[in-house]
Amino acid sequence: MTPSHPLRTRIKICGLTREEDVDAVVAAGADAVGFVMYEPSPRHITAERAAELARRLPPFVTPVLLFVNASATKIVADCARLPSALLQFHGDESPQDCLRAGRPFMRAARIPLGESAAAAGTGFDLVKYAEDFKAAQAILLDAHVEGYGGGGKTFNWSLLPPSVNAHLVLSGGLTPANVIDGILQVRPRCKTLAVDVSSGVEIAKGIKSADAIFQFVAAVRAADEQLAKKPIHHVRLSPT
């Protein structure tokens, strides 16, 4: 049944590398922090370092470990250091690969950039993707760029399907300036919506701005308040 009031948008700040940034995320009221386990990334940290930073988290703030085509051995070893972490898969992992980890996970979907991609027949079937990865806790939407990760790029939110039977996490080029519009456009299309930001709150790769983090969280809350005053029509979706 469609809720009579809008749901609170959950917030994840990703690519954390420093104690002061973790503390800023917690103080701002975000729900999750992301640690990048992918070595080629400029935001990469070791599992040991992630565990050290995660010890600063209070209850109910979730650590998330981001993997890209990692071996099962590495995933198991890293998870042993952060047993409460949610997993996030950003590579070419199959549904079976994700399930093999034996942990709750999110799966990133790489959304083509611009209308030209759809016109050229390279559109992405998000409805099918969500069904293929129905065991995922959520599908994270990121821009399809060279390499892995969204590269701080924003895809065209209006091209997303009108109804996706999944919990979605909007990512890819979000900033304090555009996240309200993203929430208003995408929330009606799914079960629930969360947002995930990295470069949009940075002063350098892996170095966050406390002011930008607070501004981002405030913008998300402003979107929630806007929806509470004038609720949008949510599509009716299966509860499972």
Which residues form the catalytic set? Answer: 14, 142
Phi, psi of 72, rounded to the nearest 5 degrees: -60, -35
DSSP of 131-181, one letter per residue?
A: HHTTTSSEEEEEE--SSSS-TT----GGGS-S-BSS-EEE-SS--TTTHHH
Distance CA 200, CA 172 (A): 9
Phi, psi of 231, rounded to the nearest 5 degrees: -60, 140
DSSP of 19-87, one letter per residue?
A: HHHHHHHHHHT-SEEEEE--TTSTTB--HHHHHHHHTT--TT-EEEEEESS--HHHHHHHHHH-TTPEE
Please, what's the largest Cα pairwise distance for the chain?
49
Cα–Cα distance list, 196 to 8, 88, 220 (Å): 14, 12, 11
Distance CA 178, CA 113 (A): 17
- Kindly state the tokens that stand for 229: 């005053």
Distance CA 60, CA 3 (A): 23
CB atoms within 10 A of CB 139: 21
